[in-house]
Amino acid sequence: MSFGLKKSNIPTNLRGIFAGCGSLLNHPLMAPHVIALTGKSIRDVTLVYLGTASYDLPEKRQNQTSWFSDNGCTVISLDVVLNAPPTAYMEECIERADIILVSGGNTSFAMRRWRRLGLDTMMREACLGPRRVVMAGGSAGAICWWSGGHSDSMDPDSFKNAKLSSHGSDHDIDDEEGKTDNPDEDEDDVPKEWDYIRVDGLGFVPGLCCPHHDRIQSNGILRATDFDVMLLRHPTEVGICIDHNAAFMIDNANYSVLYPEGLEGSVMPDGSFSGDRLGKPCVWIKEVSNDGKTIIRTLCPNHGKLSDLLKIPEHIFQSIRHMKVAAKENPDDGPMRMSYPGFAAKSFFGGNVVKELLDVMNESAGNEEED
């Protein structure tokens, strides 16, 4: 066992699915696994989509939720970037959720925004409380549920102003689903100057999550390589390294590794790692050796007990300086109160509007007028 880690108190009542790519859980071979975790028929399931990390852009929402709505699931988008809905409305949305699906995008921004609005506390009660709401998401939507993650939140192209000015029309790694060609890896492009950073998550699942583990982004650096360097700076944590086309699913005390057949990944037939994605999608488990000098990399079995993989860190080394820089470069300057009346819960792609949520909004608007 690596230093600073212990196996005791591993949670055994969680339900969640965490993908390497933001749009992977919308894949027709992957989305049914998300629904199955609820134990309900899809037409009885309500999915609350948090697109905060991608600034509530509708294009991203469709890329990550359309399968669910098309197949009868009620999808409610809780938009909080340009609006600050009343607390009662946000609580009602989260209380209705069977699944909370978080978008890909800028993890640092999403975490700061949720904390300002108190959404993190609502999500904790929903997912860790007796309702056991399913946690779901890819990329930033995977990182956010863990103790922390290997994040591209310092990529200027992921900043709020850049995304909103382009209205999501620019290239995004979360829009790539199983593609061999990756524009971020164009040999004619000059790598951009930005670094991956460790971002704190909600801490519902112990571990340091690395999505897109087998990908190179616009800074020209393979995430698998950079993650090893990061883990040496954070040796008390276990790395959960998820290939772009893979997902790590938790169902109570058990876990599974899922991926659609036919997509590329980093594990070769002999179990070795391929940084060129010549193998199948997979999940790797990484830890720092007892001497603190080397990384121990292990291929995660496709099924097993969660307690065999995860460990509770005795303490976590925070990246306070990096987080301060991220907050300065991409600030959360959104409102803290709803700035207009009549904000309504929307159910997209033909799903049913939840009447009770509209009633809450109307009541809140009436109260504000009386004040």
Angstrom distance (rounded) from CA 340 to CA 361: 11
Per-residue pLDDT, 15: 98
* Phi, psi for residue 197 in degrees, rounded to 5: -135, 160
Strand partners, 50: 102
CB atoms within 10 A of CB 277: 20
Per-residue pLDDT, 3: 40
CB atoms within 10 A of CB 242: 31
Strand partners, 197: 151
**Where residue 315 falls among pLDDT bands split at 50, 70, 90?**
confident
If you search the block for the tokens 């946690």, which residue do you land on? 135
The HSE-up count of residue 46 (CA atoms within 13 Å, CB side) is 19
Percentages helix, strand, coil for the chain (3-state, rounded to 5) are 30, 20, 45
Over residues 54-69, the pLDDT tens digits come to 999 999 999 999 999 9
Angstrom distance (rounded) from CA 235 to CA 288: 5
Angstrom distance (rounded) from CA 45 to CA 38: 8
Position 202 pLDDT exceeds 50:
yes
Per-residue pLDDT, 182: 47
Per-residue pLDDT, 361: 44
Beta strands in 182-253 (DSSP E): 197-200, 205-210, 239-242, 247-251
Give the mean model confidence (pLDDT) for residues 320-338: 88
**Where residue 170 falls among pLDDT bands split at 50, 70, 90?**
low
Name the amino acid, one letter, at 92: E
Position 207 pLDDT exceeds 80:
yes
Per-residue pLDDT, 93: 97
Mean of per-residue pLDDT scores for the chain? 87
* Phi, psi for residue 49 in degrees, rounded to 5: -100, 125
Query: Quick check: 254 and 247 in contact, CB under 8 A?
Result: no
Position 95 pLDDT exceeds 70:
yes
Give the mean model confidence (pLDDT) for residues 199-206: 96
Over residues 337-366, the pLDDT tens digits come to 644 333 334 433 333 333 444 444 444 444
Per-residue pLDDT, 11: 83
By mean pLDDT, which of 80-89, 134-143, 173-182, 309-318 is the weakest?
173-182
Query: Quick check: 16 and 135 in contact, CB under 8 A?
Result: yes
By mean pLDDT, which of 37-46, 59-68, 104-113, 178-187 is the weakest?
178-187
Residue bearing the bigger pLDDT, 36 or 363? 36
Per-residue pLDDT, 368: 39
By mean pLDDT, which of 1-5, 293-297, 298-302 is the weakest?
1-5
Query: Quick check: 307 and 252 in contact, CB under 8 A?
Result: no
**Where residue 298 falls among pLDDT bands split at 50, 70, 90?**
very high
Per-residue pLDDT, 176: 57
Position 185 pLDDT exceeds 50:
no
Per-residue pLDDT, 175: 60
Position 146 pLDDT exceeds 90:
yes
Residue bearing the bigger pLDDT, 317 or 172? 317
Per-residue pLDDT, 8: 53
Give the mean model confidence (pLDDT) for residues 253-269: 97
Query: Quick check: 23 and 129 in contact, CB under 8 A?
Result: no
Per-residue pLDDT, 321: 87
Position 329 pLDDT exceeds 80:
yes
CA angle 130, 27, 177 (to 5 degrees): 120
Angstrom distance (rounded) from CA 20 to CA 318: 23
Per-residue pLDDT, 370: 36
Give the mean model confidence (pLDDT) for residues 148-163: 96
Give the mean model confidence (pLDDT) for residues 306-318: 88
